[in-house]
Structure formats: structure tokens, C-alpha cells
């Protein structure tokens, strides 16, 4: 299976790549940002058209700490939504059969009962310190639905 791992240089994405490569039964497709700007819709569409992956693992995101989220909230929402929209839509148009979208615990309400269940999504206010990132992640989940 040909698998595109978006976000292959991040903490989670790099672990996924190591696991897939150790398994040895899949062709792992990765492109650094200099070769593929995930916020560029035309570039993502062309990449999927040319590479024709069987599956996509979407681990890519603009991340940062509390200070960055609070200082640049619009950037976090915009860039993450562009990455998600371009990859999900591009994969759909290219006929990719499987897509794994990685969420985050920050998408759940700040006071969600523990352990958190999927049903807790959108049932209360988010943690304000990472709300921009969480909003974009929730939008990605809704795109996948």
C-alpha cells in the first residue's frame, strides 16, 4: 500500500513513518515543506494526482505553545484549516480510499468528564489557551464526516 504521511517531521508523524518503514510492507510517501506546501491547494491536488496514494495519514499541523496560540490565533485557525481542507479534498478528488485524520485532546471541552468519550465533542467551552488550534481540528473532523 502507498501511504502519504503528511506531517512526517513532527513528533507523531515521524513515529508513524518509523513504524510503517519498520513494517516494510508499505511504500511511505513523504515530502518536506520546501517540496510541497500543504496550504497550496493546486500543489496538493497535483501531488495526489501524480503520486496516487492508497491512503493518507494527516498528522500535519501548525503547532505552538500557549503564547503562540494567543498571539497569532487567526494564523493557527487559517493555516491549519487550509492544510486540512487541501489534504482532505485533494485525497477525495484523487480517489484515495483511506484517510486517517489525527485529532487532539484539545478539541474536547475543558471540563469534559474523564475518561473523555467521543460524545463529549462540542458539549462545552474549549480551553481558551489552545482554542484556535482546537477550532481548526474540529473543522477537520467535520470535513472528514
Choice among 48, 72, 108, 133 that is catalytic: 133
CB 3 within 8 A of CB 54: yes
78 part of the active site: no
**Phi, then psi, of 49 in degrees rounded to 5:** -60, -45
Q: What nine digits make up the cell of 83?
A: 492544510
How far apart (Å, rounded) are the C-alpha atoms in residues 141 and 23? 28
How far apart (Å, rounded) are the C-alpha atoms in residues 7 and 27?
A: 16
Query: What sign results for the dihedral spanned by CA atoms 59, 132, 145, 116?
Result: positive
Helix (H, G, I), strand (E, B) or coil at 28: strand
Residues tagged active-site: 133
Amino acid at each position: 500500500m502507498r501511504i502519504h504521511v503528511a506531517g512526517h517531521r513532527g513528533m507523531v508523524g515521524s513515529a508513524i513513518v518509523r513504524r510503517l518503514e519498520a513494517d516494510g510492507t508499505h511504500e511511505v510517501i513523504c515530502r518536506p515543506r520546501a517540496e510541497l506546501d500543504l496550504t497550496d491547494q493546486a500543489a496538493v491536488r497535483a501531488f495526489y494526482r501524480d503520486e496516487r496514494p492508497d491512503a493518507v495519514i494527516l498528522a500535519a499541523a501548525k503547532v505552538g505553545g500557549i503564547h503562540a496560540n494567543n498571539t497569532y490565533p487567526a494564523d493557527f485557525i487559517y493555516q491549519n484549516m487550509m492544510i486540512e481542507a487541501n489534504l482532505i479534498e485533494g485525497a477525495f478528488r484523487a480517489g484515495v480510499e483511506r484517510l486517517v485524520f489525527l485529532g487532539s485532546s484539545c478539541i474536547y471541552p475543558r471540563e469534559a468528564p474523564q475518561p473523555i468519550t467521543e460524545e463529549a465533542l462540542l458539549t462545552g467551552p474549549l480551553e481558551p489557551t489552545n482554542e484556535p488550534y482546537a477550532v481548526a481540528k474540529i473543522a477537520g473532523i467535520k470535513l472528514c464526516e
